[in-house]
Structure 1
Amino acid sequence: MMIKVLWAAAAATLSAAPLVAASYRTPVPTTFESRGADRRAIEAVLETYTKAVSTKNQALFETLLLNKAVPFSGIPVAQHAGSTLVDTARYEDFRKGVFDGEPFIQRFQDVHIAQDGELAQVSLVFVNSTAKEQIWGWKTMQLVKVGGQWKIAAEFFTGHE
């Protein structure tokens, strides 16, 4: 009974609130899907990414980064109970695993690219294949356009066997 009274009071308050039409200088886009030359340039970054890690070309890979201090980390799929700290400055761990570890071939699938001006977000599924196994994960990347070039400013990923 009390919940019905509270719900009715909340509904009455909301219906009495005046609706304010938003007026923005720049209208909110109906989609942020990247298109045209920027999308092709971001896709080229992704192609270079898989080429660099699959051929263990660290120098090529690092040309894609805004700098080596960008947030870059694997996120555990199942967090430990009570854990509230996630260290995101882990590029060195990634670098060692990819460029000093066992060779693998990487491919991307289910790629989504959203963009607003000089900021883009990519989400995708990656698959790493070796002679012995395959692993996959979900990856998100933030890219910024600097000097006409798209650079990776952050990357977070999961991993599954």
Structure 2
Amino acid sequence: MSTRKKRSGGSKARREIRQQSTKNQVVQPGQEGGTYHPLTDSEIEQIHRTALDVLEKIGIGDPLPEILDHTLPKGCVLGDDNRLKFPKSLVEDLIDIAPKEHMIYGADPKYDYSVTGKKMYLSTSGEPISIFDYKTQSYRPTKIVDIYDAARLCDQLEHIH
């Protein structure tokens, strides 16, 4: 008797099997997450307090004029060192009123999804300012064709929602 395994049908058969069901996907669109907790609640609180301290005491350097137009009337302070500092109370108020969900729209409406709660999605989440050009082996500014190519690629990747 032969110990060779019977061939399974090749790449076409594997693609057909993958398209038959989403039950076996590694990450299904909107799968529940939130069970991995690498930090304790007190560690998370410490990071939060430290971030508030940094924004209030150090701030951000060389803010754009458009940012100043919105932040100074709300109570932020522009120092002599041209650093914009954010009061803790303002940051906490903004966190409280921040939307708890938002929509991501796909090229095809069947790929639209709402990011909310503990649901997980994998997506490209934006466009890079520069991109690695495999032909020249160097980085260059992103062009519209790069965004088009990335979208075409993502349309074919089964775990990118």
Q: Which has the larger radius of gyration?
A: 2
Structure showing the higher helix proportion among its residues: 2
TM-score, normalization by structure 1: 0.25
Higher strand share: 1
